[in-house]
Every structure is written in C-alpha cells, then in structure tokens.
Chain A
Amino acid sequence: MNVHATPQMTAAEQALIDTYGQLFSDLPGDTAVVVRRDEAVEALKSGLPTRRVEAWHYTDLRRLLSTVPAFDPLARAKEQPALLSGATVLPVLSGTVTSMPQIEGVAIRRIFDRLSDGSLAAQLFDGDAADAIGAINTAFVGDGYALDIAEGAEIAKPIELQNLHEGGQTHVRFATHAGRNSRATIVERQTGTGEALVSAISHITVEDGAELTWIILQEQPDDATFLGQTNIEIGADAKFTLFFMNAGGKLVRQEVTVNVAGEGSEFILRGVNLLAGGTHCDVTMVLDHAAANTVSTEVIRNVVTDQAKGVFQGQIRVAREAQKTDAKMACNTLLLTDEGEFSAKPELEIFADDVACGHGATVTEIDQGHLFYLMARGIDEKTARGLLVRAFLAEVIEDLENEAMVEALEEKLTAWFATHG
C-alpha cells in the first residue's frame, strides 16, 4: 500500500473497509485466515497504492479505482460454454462454487473449504505493502477451486476454470498443484456482465518434470474492474506455458509473478492485450530465475486504439546462482490513435555473469512499407490495416502450437475486431 500517510480515504477505500465490516462474519476461515484478513484490511486502511509505489508506476490505483460496487447477494451468473471443446468446466458463479465435477487424476476441493480449515492461509496476503490485489482479495475471498494433479497423471481433457459474475463484487482463488511429471492444460475465463469489482488470484506449483499450459482469457465488460494475480513456482526440468488475452474491462491489472526455482526448467509467456474504448490495462510481471540452466521467453503484443491506455512492466531478475540463464523478453505495441497511450518498463536485474538476457520494446504505428505492399495488390487501406494488426497478434497466438487452442483464440480475436476494428 501507499507508504505515505494518506490524509483522507477515497470513497472506494472507505467502501472496501465498510464492506469488510459488514461481511466479516459471513466469510469462511479459521483463526489463521481471519488474522490474514484483518491484516489485509489494515493495509487497505493505509490507502491504495499511488504512482509513488514503483510497482504501480503507471497505474494510480487510488485514483483509478474511484468507486466500488456493493456485493449483490442475489446475483447468480450462468455457466458459459467452454472455450475448448470437450473441456471439463469448473464454474464459480457470482463468487460461489455450485458444482464439483470429477476428473480422473485430479483431486478437486472448494476454496471455501480450504479457507474454513485454514489450509489456504499461507497463500493469503503476507504484508507486502505493494500487494494491493493480495490485500483486497484476502479480505473478501469466499470461494474458488483448488486442484491437485496427481504425480504422473496426464489429463487429456482441458480443464476450464470459469469466474463469472453479473455485477457487484466477486473475489475468487484458484490454487493448483501439478504433481511430478504430470501433464495438463487449464483455461481460466474471467468475464461477466454489469459494473463489477473482480479479483482473482491463482497460486500454481509445478513440480519437477511436470508440464502445464495455462490460458487466461479476460473479457470483462466495459464497466468492470479486474484485478488478477497469477503466482507460479516451477520445479526442476519442468515447463510452464502461460498465455493471456486481455480483451475488456475498464480498469485491468494483471500481475504475474514467476519463480523458476528448479534447474533445467522453462517458462514461456505469450500475451495479447486488445485495448479499446476507455480501458486502462496494466500487465506487470516479475520473473525470478533462481536456478541454473533455465530458459524463459516472454512476448507481449499490444494494440491500442481509442483512448485506451496500456502498460507493461516486466522485470527479469537473475540470481547469482542462476548461471546459464537464457531469458528473453519482448513487448511490441501498435499505437493506433493519438488519444491512446502505451508505457513500457522492461527491467533486467542481473547478478550472474554467464547468462544471455535481453529485452526489446517497441512502440510504433503500422509499418508503411507493409501497408503499401498490401495496397499495391488491390487491398483497400482499411482491410490492409486490419490484416496487418491481426497478423501482428496472431503471430503470438500461433506460438501455442496446439491447433484447437490457436483456433479458439483466433476466433476471440475476430470477435474483438468485429466490435472494435
């Protein structure tokens, strides 16, 4: 939170604290959980972060989160068709788990239960002053899914976690433990209708030799605030692929923290931000290479139109012992309007001397040469521009290689262009 004393609470800060006072007794949790919830609310009392907090350099949460809608106890969102056909859907509807499908090789529990028995307490807010998302979520989290993938299990069908709302507030968690040498694909959907404050936090542990693909599809309505956080710990010789697409929301902050903790492991991040209207979307990643011989690549592609504001902060930290790290990060942006904005802060913090680390960041308009090439072939300018923007994004999606996945996400791209192109 803001380390400086805040003279007066904003309406949003006050609303969060008051709401906690009202809901407190209905929220699940043993003593350990309650202690964490109280600490989180104390942190909120000292104010939401402003730009003075370096991690929030381009997103003044205190100013941007101007209002907080009330919880709507009557809302009950409806399950959506899965993104990938054949997927097992695990829906959280307006903040509550309503069904518990069985998946062979995966032990599934409700977050509600893991809060009640206190086994989730260690994943809750731990006092980090910049962790506003952790604090807000910890104060109010009520449900979600905890998945435990058995050692050696190969889960053939994708698992789809849905966090759906009909306005108001929802605060959920997904906790996933992928056992040694297991394989799985998980899709996380974040969407709904109506003015909302949504927070979602995932803690993901990838044990030695496991391979996990995780796709986050965020399609919040234009009046929703989405605060997402994905925390990943990767063991030895393991591989984790994270893909995200942000295609909605009024205020979006997507935090990704990764600890590549085991030797010989790999982390892949691909992200697409489709920014239109008045959206403010901030993707902030902190990636630690803590062990030797690890590889990571991150490619983020952004399209900014209308008055949208985009932010990418990416920090790669290489510890002294993480020799032979190979880390590459790129953030490319097409800024299509003068009213739009994009800010990037790609950071490297390197303490090992035998590594190959790099980052590249570009902000440009559409390449005039490419445009000319297409138009010279009789394609009109609007279509040519559309093709180029689409190709720019599709390149990143295609890195996923899985045909069904690529197709499904490209359809989402098409749908977005149909309304914003």
Chain B
Amino acid sequence: MPAVQETIEQVRNIDVDQYKYGFETLIETDKAPKGLNEDIIRLISAKKDEPEWMLDWRLEAFRRWQTMSEPSWARVSYPEIDFQDIHYYAAPKSTSGPTSLEEVDPELLRTYEKLGIPLKEQEILAGVRKQGEPSDLDAIEGNGGRRVAVDAVFDSVSVVTTFKKELAAAGVIFCSISEAIREHPDLVRKYLGTVVPTSDNYYATLNTAVFTDGSFVYVPKGVRCPMELSTYFRINEKNTGQFERTLIIAEEGAYVSYLEGCTAPQRDENQLHAAVVELIALDDAEIKYSTVQNWYPGDKDGKGGIYNFVTKRGDCRGKNSKISWTQVETGSAITWKYPSCILRGDNSQGEFYSIAVSNGHQQIDSGTKMLHLGKNTVSRIISKGISAGRSNNTYRGQVSVHRKATNARNFTNCDSLLIGNDCGAHTVPYIEAKNATAKLEHEATTSKISEDQLFYVMQRGIPEEEAIALIVNGFVKEVIQELPMEFAVEAQKLIGISLEGSVG
C-alpha cells in the first residue's frame, strides 16, 4: 500500500530544505591547528588540564587507531575522509570550560535560546519560555512545566551545566566529562572504557584519542534522579569534528532519564561527529536514554551535512537492571549508529525504540544489538523507518542469545515505509540462538500481528479490521510513550506520521 497523503505532507515538513537550525553563531574561537598527531592529542589533554593517565589512554588509542581500517559493511557510501583536514579542538574564546551562567558569553546564550534550549534556571523555574516553541506540556503540567538540567556542549567544550547545585543535593553528579576527569577521577577511571573498550571500532578508537567533551552522570545507590538530565550538542565552527564522550553510571537501585539533542549550521562541506556513549546500570538500576538527532542533513542535492558515526552501548551489569534507548532520527547526511545493550545481569532488560526518517540524499544505517548473556534476560526492539526523496534507510540489528542465557526473550518489530520511488528501505536483522530455552521473535509487517492477539480482540466482537487497527495503534502508542515529555514538541512532528502502508 502506498503512503497516505497526510504522511507525505508530514515528511515534507521535515525535508532537508526545511532545516531550521542551519544558522551560524559568529563568535571568537580558540582552535587547534588542523590535523591529527600526538601533539594535537597532547594539546587537547593539556587544554583540559587532564591527569597523566588520561593522556596515556588517549595516546594508546591513537596508536591503535593508526593500525585500524574504516569499517565498510554498512550500507552507506561517502568519499574518503581526510582525517588530517579537521580541527580536533575548537572552543569559544570567552569560555574556559564550564562556568556559571552569569559568565557565559551572551552570544552563546542567544544561540541556545534560538535553538529553543532554555539555560537560565530562573526562567525555567518561572515557566518562561519565550524563545522555545510553545509547549503543550505547559498546559498539561501547569504553569511550571517540567524542569530539565542541561549540559550545553558547543563545539569542543561544555559551556554551562544547569541545576548542578540542586542535583548535588540529591547526590547526583551531572557535569561535563572534562570536569569529571578533574573532579571525580576515581569514578571516571573505574568506568570509562569498560563498555566501549579502546579497541572497539575505528570511530570509537578515534573518539578515545581525541574526545573533547561530553557529559558525565553519576547517580548514587538508591537515588531516583530528581529531574530529567539533558545534553545539547551544537557544532558551530567550520572544518571541525565533534567528538564527545558521555558516561552515565546508575548505581544499585538508581534511576535516571537522560535526553540528548543536537544541531549544526548549514555548510557545504561535510563534518564529522564521532561520539561514544557508555551506560552502566548496576543491580536494580534503570537508565533511560533518549535522543532527538537533528544534525544538518545536507542540502537537497546532497551537499554538506554531518557524518554521524556513533558508538552507543549500555551495559546491564547488575541483576534486574534495565537500559532503554529511544531515538528519533531526522538529521545527518550519514548515520551509522547502533545503540546496544549487553544484558549481562540476570533478569536484566534492554529496549530499543526508534523512529528514523530519511529525506534528500540522507543515508541511515542504524539499529541495535541485544546481547543476552544473563539468565531470564528480555529485550524488545521496535523500529520504524521512513524513507523519502533519494535517501536510503537501513535497519541493521543483532539479537544474540549465548549458550548460558537460559529463558532469554526477544521481540523485534521493524516496519519501513517508502515515500516516492527514488529511495530505498532495507532490513538486515541477525538472529542468533545458542540456547534451547530462547524465544526470539522477529517480524516486519503490520499484517503479521500475533494471531493470538487478533483472536483475543475479535472474539470480543470487534471486526477484524478494527481489531488490527486497535492492536497496531496500541503498538505505536507504546513507542510514543517511551519518548520523554520534554521532547514531545520536537518529536510530535514525527509521531504524527501514520505508518499506514508500511512494508517490512
């Protein structure tokens, strides 16, 4: 069935030439010279005032990276990247690392206001949202809205982190990773690189060598983080790459919800974004990680745009732990990203909810990996891909049940929708079972609704068509509900898209 008109219009509204965040902030910048070598890495480390062990770790990664080759298995194509033609460090001159809001360059504050990211705590508290889009949330939740602590990363540095004091009172550490390396070296050393090791893959190794900033979250035992945490990434400078590193640790019984947003100016050249995100959930802990990825996708002819080569992985290290990834992907010229869960602890759970929309000449190769190692582990994958224009949109996912992972369960559903006849939609799942008690289900069309469910609804007197609609709606609603309220406005445009007419 072809896409319905409403869907076509919805997708058109977020087409590449409708990109709203393509403006540039003119601000004096402190930049490292172009190129990548040990001196540049030493420079980055020195700028960050890092301890010796950190520099050693970076250099080791850099030496390893030089022996590695770029992965070629993804369904994406792009000209060779000249890694020597990139500035690996760029920071607004007025900012020497994280500071208080009063000291932040007003030009930067204006930039974030324009992006709809409120950084002024008092305004947020007062419910003032002049620059952001009018939020339906205010109506739902009253005058105050919901409070979100924000870490704002501009090119290579974190410019400000809000609500730090209030979070500290609850025992939560939320700061830039650079600050964490200085202030909480023991925690960082204990966990950094334990989920995504230095040798993991080409881009992760590069990131380890040159990462400049990112966020650090530590939620102590038994603490439920009192507010949503959020990082907003902005690439501004020309010819720079953004290499951020995020590390989130939820101790026993802790809970945290973390949101991430990103945009970049409209430029004719491609820019590289190679991030690494590591999540660690100990016994009974839960981490919810949501992304609205809206990097500049390039123009309608495929010129420019961000190469988004990201390694995101969560480790359900403890018993009964849970990690949930939700992503809404609309940006980037190329996306290469597989947020994954290592289900190591018994009874741990992993979830992946994704809506990926590609337009213009965008190429998306994204999905997830669910590695079942512990007993009674459960994973759930819901992926909706929508391709339009001349784009290609690939779901690539792996579900693997290891020999000792008894009673592992997985349910995977990926739907794709094509709009127009010049794009492509692809599904590449890898399903691997090595234990007889595993129960893995992968399905790729709405017509493959479980017959049991259908029978259940129909035997209550509901006609088949309505029954299917009911189940499908319930299904989509489930995905939507995973999106945190804070991203509702941005995500609503996508959520409104009907998946009628989808193919597997």
Closest to B425 in A: A350
Interface residues of B in 409-447 (CB under 8 A from A): 416, 418-445, 447
Interface flag for B177 (CB, 8 Å)? no
Interface flag for A358 (CB, 8 Å)? yes
Which B residues touch A347, using CB under 8 A? Answer: 426-429
Complex: A320 Cα to B424 Cα, angstroms:
9
Interface flag for B54 (CB, 8 Å)? no
Mask, A323-345, CB within 8 Å of B = 1, is: 00000000001011110111111
Known A358-B503, A360-B443: A353·B3 in contact at CB below 8 Å: yes
User: Is there an interface contact between B444 and A333, defined as CB atoms closer than 8 Å?
Assistant: no
Which A residues touch B434, using CB under 8 A? Answer: 338, 340-341
Known A333-B433, A345-B430, A347-B427: A357·B445 in contact at CB below 8 Å: yes
Interface flag for B73 (CB, 8 Å)? yes
Determine, out of A116-124, A179-187, A362-370, the stretch whose residues face the partner at the interface: A362-370
Interface residues of A in 345-360 (CB under 8 A from B): 345-360
Which B residues touch A364, using CB under 8 A? Answer: 438-441
User: Is there an interface contact between A348 and B426, defined as CB atoms closer than 8 Å?
Assistant: yes
Most buried by A among B3, B416, B419, B440: B440
Complex: A346 Cα to B427 Cα, angstroms:
8
Which B residues touch A345, using CB under 8 A? Answer: 428-431
Known A343-B433, A348-B426: A363·B438 in contact at CB below 8 Å: yes
User: Is there an interface contact between A341 and B433, defined as CB atoms closer than 8 Å?
Assistant: yes
Q: Which of B1, B73, B418, B432 contacts A350 (CB 8 A)?
A: B418
Interface flag for B403 (CB, 8 Å)? yes
Closest to A355 in B: B503
Which B residues touch A365, using CB under 8 A? Answer: 436-439
Interface flag for B504 (CB, 8 Å)? yes
Taking the nearest CB of chain A, how far is it from the CB of B178, in angstroms? 38
Closest to A343 in B: B432
Mask, B437-459, CB within 8 Å of A = 1, is: 11111111101100000000000
Taking the nearest CB of chain B, how far is it from the CB of A405, in angstroms? 28
User: Is there an interface contact between A359 and B2, defined as CB atoms closer than 8 Å?
Assistant: no
Closest to B409 in A: A364
Interface flag for A104 (CB, 8 Å)? no
User: Is there an interface contact between A358 and B438, defined as CB atoms closer than 8 Å?
Assistant: no
User: Is there an interface contact between B428 and A361, defined as CB atoms closer than 8 Å?
Assistant: no
Which A residues touch B430, using CB under 8 A? Answer: 57, 343-345
Known A54-B73, A347-B426, A349-B426: A356·B1 in contact at CB below 8 Å: yes
Which A residues touch B424, using CB under 8 A? Answer: 349-351
Known A350-B416, A350-B424, A352-B418: A361·B435 in contact at CB below 8 Å: no
A-B contact count (CB 8 A): 126
Mask, A51-86, CB within 8 Å of B = 1, is: 000100100000000000000000000000000000
User: Is there an interface contact between A361 and B439, defined as CB atoms closer than 8 Å?
Assistant: no
Give the size category of A's interface with B: 20 to 34
Which A residues touch B422, using CB under 8 A? Answer: 320
User: Is there an interface contact between B504 and A357, defined as CB atoms closer than 8 Å?
Assistant: yes
Closest to B417 in A: A353
Complex: A337 Cα to B434 Cα, angstroms:
9
User: Is there an interface contact between A360 and B440, defined as CB atoms closer than 8 Å?
Assistant: no
Complex: A347 Cα to B397 Cα, angstroms:
11
User: Is there an interface contact between B431 and A361, defined as CB atoms closer than 8 Å?
Assistant: yes
User: Is there an interface contact between B444 and A360, defined as CB atoms closer than 8 Å?
Assistant: yes
Taking the nearest CB of chain A, how far is it from the CB of B436, in angstroms? 5
Taking the nearest CB of chain B, how far is it from the CB of A416, in angstroms? 19
Complex: A338 Cα to B434 Cα, angstroms:
6
Complex: A360 Cα to B413 Cα, angstroms:
9
Which A residues touch B426, using CB under 8 A? Answer: 347-350
Interface residues of A in 178-229 (CB under 8 A from B): none
Taking the nearest CB of chain B, how far is it from the CB of A39, in angstroms? 25
Which B residues touch A336, using CB under 8 A? Answer: 436
Which B residues touch A356, using CB under 8 A? Answer: 1, 445, 447, 503
Complex: A363 Cα to B504 Cα, angstroms:
19
Most buried by B among A341, A343, A346: A346
Complex: A358 Cα to B426 Cα, angstroms:
11
User: Is there an interface contact between A358 and B445, defined as CB atoms closer than 8 Å?
Assistant: yes
Taking the nearest CB of chain A, how far is it from the CB of B36, in angstroms? 26
Q: Which of A346, A351, A362 contacts B429 (CB 8 A)?
A: A346
Taking the nearest CB of chain B, how far is it from the CB of A173, in angstroms? 32
User: Is there an interface contact between A338 and B435, defined as CB atoms closer than 8 Å?
Assistant: yes
Taking the nearest CB of chain A, how far is it from the CB of B28, in angstroms? 48
User: Is there an interface contact between A335 and B433, defined as CB atoms closer than 8 Å?
Assistant: yes
Taking the nearest CB of chain B, how far is it from the CB of A5, in angstroms? 14
Taking the nearest CB of chain B, how far is it from the CB of A304, in angstroms? 9
Complex: A365 Cα to B401 Cα, angstroms:
14
Complex: A147 Cα to B504 Cα, angstroms:
38
User: Is there an interface contact between A358 and B1, defined as CB atoms closer than 8 Å?
Assistant: no
Taking the nearest CB of chain B, how far is it from the CB of A363, in angstroms? 4
Closest to B432 in A: A343
Complex: A215 Cα to B202 Cα, angstroms:
46
User: Is there an interface contact between B429 and A358, defined as CB atoms closer than 8 Å?
Assistant: no
Known A348-B426, A348-B427: A353·B418 in contact at CB below 8 Å: yes
User: Is there an interface contact between A340 and B436, defined as CB atoms closer than 8 Å?
Assistant: yes
Closest to A347 in B: B428
Complex: A345 Cα to B424 Cα, angstroms:
19
Which A residues touch B431, using CB under 8 A? Answer: 343-346, 361, 363
Closest to A54 in B: B73
Known A360-B448, A362-B442: A353·B433 in contact at CB below 8 Å: no
Most buried by A among B403, B425, B436: B436
User: Is there an interface contact between B448 and A358, defined as CB atoms closer than 8 Å?
Assistant: yes
Q: Which of A338, A341, A361 contacts B442 (CB 8 A)?
A: A361
Complex: A357 Cα to B447 Cα, angstroms:
10
Complex: A408 Cα to B97 Cα, angstroms:
77
Interface residues of B in 459-496 (CB under 8 A from A): none
Which B residues touch A353, using CB under 8 A? Answer: 2-3, 418-421, 423
Which A residues touch B432, using CB under 8 A? Answer: 341-344
User: Is there an interface contact between A363 and B3, defined as CB atoms closer than 8 Å?
Assistant: no
Complex: A348 Cα to B403 Cα, angstroms:
28
User: Is there an interface contact between B439 and A360, defined as CB atoms closer than 8 Å?
Assistant: no
Complex: A395 Cα to B49 Cα, angstroms:
68
Which A residues touch B423, using CB under 8 A? Answer: 351, 353
Complex: A204 Cα to B243 Cα, angstroms:
53
Closest to A317 in B: B426
Known A353-B419, A363-B438: A358·B433 in contact at CB below 8 Å: no
Closest to A344 in B: B431
Top-9 shortest CB links A-B: A358-B445, A358-B504, A353-B418, A363-B433, A348-B427, A361-B442, A344-B431, A363-B440, A343-B432
19 new A-B contacts, CB < 8 A, other than A338-B435, A356-B447, A365-B439, are: A320-B422, A335-B435, A338-B403, A341-B433, A342-B432, A344-B432, A345-B430, A348-B425, A348-B427, A348-B504, A351-B421, A358-B445, A360-B443, A361-B443, A362-B441, A363-B433, A364-B440, A364-B441, A365-B436
Which chain A residues have a beta carbon within 8 Å of chain B's beta carbons? Answer: 54, 57, 320, 333, 335-338, 340-365
Between-chain CB contacts (< 8 Å), 12 pairs = A57-B430, A340-B436, A344-B431, A346-B429, A346-B442, A348-B425, A348-B504, A352-B421, A354-B2, A356-B503, A358-B503, A364-B440
